[in-house]
Amino acid sequence: MSQLPPDDPPNIPSDVSVGKRLGPYLLCSRLASGGMAEVFLAKKLGEDGFSKWVAIKVILPHLARDERFVRMFQSEARLAARIDHPNVCSVFDFDQRNGTYFLGMEYLNGQPLTAVMRRCRSTRALPVRLAARIIADAARGLHAAHELRRDDGTLAEVVHRDVSPQNIFVLYSGTSKVVDFGIARSNEALAERTQTGVVKGKIAYMSPEQIRGIALDRRSDVFALGVVFWEALTGQRLFKRDNDMSSGFAVIDAPIAPPSSLRPGLPPAFDHIVLRALARERNQRYATALDLAREIDAALANLGIVAGVEDVAEFMNELFADEQSARQLLMQSLANAAPSAERASDGPAPEPSELSSALTVAPASAVGTSDLRPAPIVGPTPDERAPSRADQRERRRALWLLVLAPLFAVLATVAAVFLLVPYIRTVIERRVVEVHEVRVATSPETPPPARVQAPAPVRVARAVDAGAAAPEPRPRVTVMRPGFLTVLSSHPAEVFEGSRRIGRTPLTDVELRPGRHTLRFVPSGGLPPQTIDVELRPGGTTIRRVRWDVEE
């Protein structure tokens, strides 16, 4: 990364626009603009036809003359470039050309979490497991920033200070990334240090100590991420009010409802996680963002929920299918229009008419930043356009869907009934044979519990009519139905039968042969293992609950 010479006088910044070059970068489309900077989609050009899509963040010309602002911009680049983590947007370059200062950043092909939540509010709720995965990944990215160290090995004490849905980017590949460290604070900050009395960030996502102007540490970002998690689970705003002052007072003392009170059916474990992250006394929060991420992962595992980046990717590709298609067309048109401009040197490209026309459909920003607004779209609005043949076909298709949808619903219901009847019959035939709880005290004075013997199987004799002639015996093949075992435990435990591992609690409807089984439970956290006997009957379900009573 280029270093800004401290004594170089700033040049007069040149005008930056689409079709021009900044060093090795060809600016292809304006993604977003704001009061401090602009973000462009650009192509990095190299030798032998090498090219790569990147994002370029450019200081606006009037601010490029402000040495203090340039230093702050350079500090952002220096800070973000040293954070190397898959859940953080990478910054790989800082340079200036003819007085124009810019950052080279990873181009993110996805949507900010704000767009995901907005789309879900208008169509369907964001699935709990996917909200948990996105927040857990963002927490790991924040932890990487918090753990950034200086050359002497000491912590740089980075605090993002602007954690919000706008600055968490969800890629179509399923990965979530934290973006925009433009107002982050570290103990390496020099001229870019925040002035006394100046509050930076979004009020509705600030921690109480940030609003009060108290010295911050990483737990301030944990609180902000807790606000984002609450809103992702409920689909509502937590502290947002009519004005910043009211929002600030809400952050400090407004009641915080458990998410499950607004989303019935939400597992209680997520209430606990969110409310702990939102503790106003920071000593009661998670000490690190990594602790928050691990707690989310443990809750998903204990509930038997699988949520990986592949699941997020599938959801994103379904939710934003139209945007994906439009973006692919845009990238293709830019790729076709750019070759003539790639041969240009620094400065304006010669007559990039094709390139300019291709840029009139540029999408909103794919690079998160606290100060940027989506660039205006050039071209007629939907109300100004006459309906095309494609629009007419879409309307006819929508009309047919309205007519056929009820018929399809009826057919689907009938098919579902036929498909589910055998399953329902099987479930009805299965009987819950035994529900038993084993309580284990783990205090030193308590001797190890004896094995709990299951009741002997009940033999049912079949009555025979004495007056009827005994039927002739004939060979008959009896197929023994399996038994089903469900095991719950107060602490996660590995379950073994002999040397064979059955699984990790909770276990649900595990098929085993009928008869007696000796199971050994090996819990985590240093608790003593326990051995119990379980009797399974053909076609029946046996439920065992094992509880370790931990005495303080």
Is position 349 within any domain? Answer: no
The predicted pLDDT at position 385 comes to: 41
Range 251-277 average pLDDT: 94
94 shares its domain with 128 = no
Please report whether residue 464 resides in a domain: no
pLDDT tens digits, one per residue of 460-515: 444 444 455 555 666 555 556 788 888 887 778 888 888 888 888 888 778 888 88
Instruction: Identify the three-state secondary structure at position 540.
Output: strand
Let me know if residue 352 belongs to a domain. Answer: no
> Is residue 448 over pLDDT 60?
no
Q: CA-CA distance, 203 to 217, in Å (whole number)? A: 17
> Beta strand 168-171 with 176-178: parallel, antiparallel or unpaired?
antiparallel
Higher pLDDT, 171 or 426: 171
pLDDT number for residue 71: 82
**37 contacts: CB under 8 Å, gap ≥ 6:** 57, 58, 59, 60, 63, 73, 369, 371, 372
In a domain, 465, yes or no: no
**Distance (Å, rounded) from C-alpha 244 to C-alpha 202?**
9
Q: How far is CA 195 from the centre of its chain?
A: 33
Please tell me whether residues 416 and 516 are part of one structural domain: no
- For 358-416, how does the pLDDT look when each residue is reduced to its tens digit (9 = 90+)? 333 333 333 433 344 333 333 333 333 444 455 566 667 767 767 677 777 778 777 76
Q: How far apart are CA 159 and CA 150, in angstroms?
A: 15
Report the range of poorest mean pLDDT among 69-78, 127-136, 264-273.
Answer: 69-78
Phi-psi region at 290: left, alpha or beta (left = phi > 0; alpha = psi -120 to 50): alpha
550 and 502 within one domain:
yes
Structural domain ending residue among the three candidates 82, 107, 132: 107
pLDDT (0 to 100) of residue 220: 96
Three-state secondary structure of 387-424: CCHHHHHHHHHHHHHHHHHHHHHHHHHHHHHHHHHHHH
Active-site residues, by number, are 162
Residue 216, domain member (yes or no): yes
Higher pLDDT, 294 or 385: 294
Q: What is the pLDDT of residues 220-248, one digit of tens each?
A: 999 999 999 999 999 999 999 999 889 99
State whether 156 and 278 are in the same domain.
yes
Q: How does DSSP classify residue 185?
A: B
Most confident range, picked from 74-83, 118-127, 150-159, 419-428: 150-159
Tokens at 77, concatenated: 């680049």
Amino acid, single-letter form, for residue 416? A
Is 460 inside any structural domain? no
Strand ranges in 118-192 using DSSP code E only, listed in sequence order: 168-171, 176-178
pLDDT tens string 176-203: 999 987 655 655 443 344 443 444 568 9
> How many domains does the structure of the chain reveal?
4
Domain shared by 297 and 227, yes or no: yes
280-304 mean pLDDT: 95
Asked if residue 61 and residue 114 are part of one domain, the reply reads: no
Q: What's residue 206's pLDDT?
A: 95
Q: How far apart are the first and last CA of the chain?
A: 54
Mean pLDDT over the full length of the chain: 76
User: In this structure, what token pair is assigned to residue 161?
Assistant: 């200070």
Q: Residues 149, 179: one domain? A: yes
Mean pLDDT over 136-161 rounds to 92
Which residues have a Cβ under 8 Å from the Cβ of 166 and sit 6 or more positions away? Answer: 112, 113, 114, 202, 368, 370
Among 380-384, 422-426, 467-471, 542-546, the range of highest mean pLDDT? 542-546
Note whether 142 and 163 are within 8 A (CB). Answer: yes
Of 80-84, 228-232, 268-272, 478-482, minimum mean pLDDT range: 478-482
Q: Of all residues in the chain, what percent are helix, strand and coil, respectively (each to 5)? A: 35, 20, 40
Residue 346 has pLDDT above 50, yes or no: no
Asked whether residue 265 carries a pLDDT value surpassing 60, the answer given is yes
265, part of any domain: yes
Q: Residue 153 pLDDT > 50, yes or no?
A: yes
Structure tokens at 100: 């124009």
Residues 86 and 116 in one domain: no
> What residues are paired with 507 via a beta bridge?
487
Above pLDDT 90, what percent of the chain?
31
Residue 395: inside a domain, yes or no?
yes
Predicted TM-score (pTM) of this structure = 0.60
pLDDT score at 541: 80
DSSP string, 76-100: HHHHHHT---TTB--EEEEEEETTE
Residue that is last in its domain, among 342, 357, 375: 342
As a whole number, mean pLDDT of residues 310-333 equals 88
Residue 380, pLDDT score: 34
Residue 368 CB-density burial (10 A; 0-12 exposed, 13-18 middle, 19+ buried): buried
The pair of structure tokens assigned to 432 is 């819950």
More confident call, 357 vs 303: 303
Q: Are residues 76 and 224 in the same domain?
A: no
3-class DSSP state of 216: coil
Are 402 and 436 members of one domain?
Answer: no
| 61-77 average pLDDT score | 81
The angle formed by the CA atoms of residues 85, 89 and 92, to the nearest 5 degrees, is 90
In tens, the pLDDT along 20-49 reads 888 889 998 888 877 778 889 998 887 777
Cis peptide bond upstream of 13, omega within 30: no
Express as a percent the part of the chain with pLDDT over 70: 69
Domain boundaries, position 401 = 389-420
pLDDT digits (tens, 9 = 90+) for 99-113: 888 889 999 999 999
- At 95, the amino acid letter reads D
Residue ending a domain, choose from 44, 72, 107? 107
Q: Are residues 229 and 338 in the same domain?
A: yes
Would you say residue 85 has pLDDT above 60?
Answer: yes
Q: What is the CATH number of the domain that holds 161?
A: 1.10.510.10
For the cut 70, the answer to whether the pLDDT of residue 215 exceeds it is yes
* CATH code of 510's domain: 2.60.40
CATH number of the domain that residue 94 is part of: 3.30.200.20
Q: Which neighbouring-strand residues pair with 483?
A: 512
The whole-angstrom separation of Cα 28 and Cα 95 is 18
What pLDDT score does 184 carry? 57
Q: How far is CA 453 from CA 70, 434, 437, in A?
A: 75, 12, 12
Q: What pLDDT is stored for residue 225 in this prediction?
A: 97
Question: Higher pLDDT residue, 150 or 262?
Answer: 262
Examine the domain organization and report whether 24 and 99 are in the same domain.
yes
